[in-house]
Amino acid sequence: MHKEKSHIAIRIADLMQGIHEFDFTCNASDFEGWQLAEAGFTRDIKISVVVEKSENEITVAINTSTAADFTCDICLAPISRTLAGSLKLCYLFCAPVEKAQDWNEEYRFLDKNAESIDLTGDVCETLLLSLPLKVVCTDNPHCKLFGSDEKNERSQADEISSWQESLEQLKNKYR
């Protein structure tokens, strides 16, 4: 990713009409104020942007992909998931921009003299919307809800790890 102010921006002033592809790679720490690292985004984030420019509009397709680290909502086991998100935006050239804002919320408006489009906020929103509502591990033998009884009996006989110990202490505290 280009490190100038950590923005994902597409320079449209020099862009010829047609389809253009841009690829960015960045970290969650590059997006100040969005708390992406706290949401589980700890690895590289790959962003693919396809821009189609015509005479009076620009269509932008954003695709994000990354691996995020979570804990299981049931057994607190660490889980890594691959997340992908996409967003399509349409920008119309018009003047003056202020009068056109109330016209339709599905479109965004650009001044005819605009030099670039900042996609940082849209990328962050796409990443946050790709987060699952519930994170559970289905293939972990330590997860008592989804594991079979036979697997659970074997896992109890195994050595208890630190996260299982802390879970048991928390259970006993509220009994």
- Residue pair 28/120 in contact by the 8 Å Cβ criterion: no
Q: Which residues contact 56 (CB under 8 A, 6 or more apart)?
A: 92, 93
* First-to-final CA distance of the chain: 50
Residue 121 and residue 159 in one domain: no
- Residue pair 68/129 in contact by the 8 Å Cβ criterion: no
61: containing domain? 9-133
Specify the number of domains making up the chain. 2
- Read off the pLDDT of each residue in 127-143 and give the average, rounded to a whole number: 79
Residue 162 in any domain: the answer is: yes
- Read off the pLDDT of each residue in 23-30 and give the average, rounded to a whole number: 86
Residue 3 in any domain: the answer is: no
Residue 79 and residue 146 in one domain: no
Q: What per-residue confidence (pLDDT) applies to 47?
A: 93
* Confidence band for 144, pLDDT divided at 50, 70 and 90: low
Count CA within 13 A, CB hemisphere, residue 43.
Answer: 12
Residue 24 and residue 65 in one domain: yes
| Final residue in a domain of this structure, among 133, 148, 164 | 133
Q: What per-residue confidence (pLDDT) applies to 61?
A: 94
Count CA within 13 A, CB hemisphere, residue 51.
Answer: 22
For residue 164, the tally of other CB atoms under 10 A from its CB is 17
* Pairing status of strand 18-26 against strand 9-11: unpaired
Say whether pTM exceeds 0.75.
Answer: no
- Read off the pLDDT of each residue in 11-35 and give the average, rounded to a whole number: 86
Residue 142 scores a pLDDT above 80: no
